[in-house]
Amino acid sequence: MATRIINTPLTKEKVSNLSCGETVFLTGSVFTARDAAHARIIDSIRQGKPLPFSIENAIIYYVGPTPPKPGQVIGSAGPTTSGRMDVFTPDLISAGLSAMIGKGVRNPEVIEAMYEHGVVYFGALGGAGALLAQCIESSEVVAYEDLGAEAVRKLEVKNMPLTVIIDSKGNNLYTKGRKDYLQNSRHCEE
């Protein structure tokens, strides 16, 4: 499978060239948001209020980083389970979001919205928060500071290793991986 180096902003053209299963090294701006921040962002969208950052061609990383130790930009920054954001995600996709970074499966409504709008879902390695933090060159709170670790941050990342879990065509690595495994394991039995 191919390895790609991509930079933000993540335009629809760039997204359309990514395929399920590819490894990606991402460089550029990424915004963080978890449950509480998502709820506030969706409230702003529904009320027609301006968002704390431009959602167009943006990437949201589902992370609540730990506080940095002296000399660090950020503490451990491992992904949060993406399914917790599924209730909010179709609205964010409709508003212009290009990609999400997290871990775990997505519900059918999210996958349908991704396909309809040409969006990609990247998987970050769970349990490797300290390693992922090394890819983060800067971190700035841009909204909802009162949420602490769940505040929206703008991260500048360099060569963040990710896997395309669901591509803009709806191909899903979790489904494909299972199917490939079952086909390969049948060959072993013969």
Reported as a pLDDT band with limits 50, 70 and 90, residue 175 is: confident
Name the more confident of 182 and 158: 158
Q: What is the mean pLDDT of residues 35-64?
A: 96
- Active-site annotation holds for 38: yes
The average confidence (pLDDT) of the chain is 92
pLDDT tens string 76-92: 999 999 999 999 999 99
**Residue 101 has which token pair?**
């970074």
Q: For the chain, which domains are there? A: 3-189 (3.20.130.10)
Active-site residue, from 38, 40, 106, 153? 38
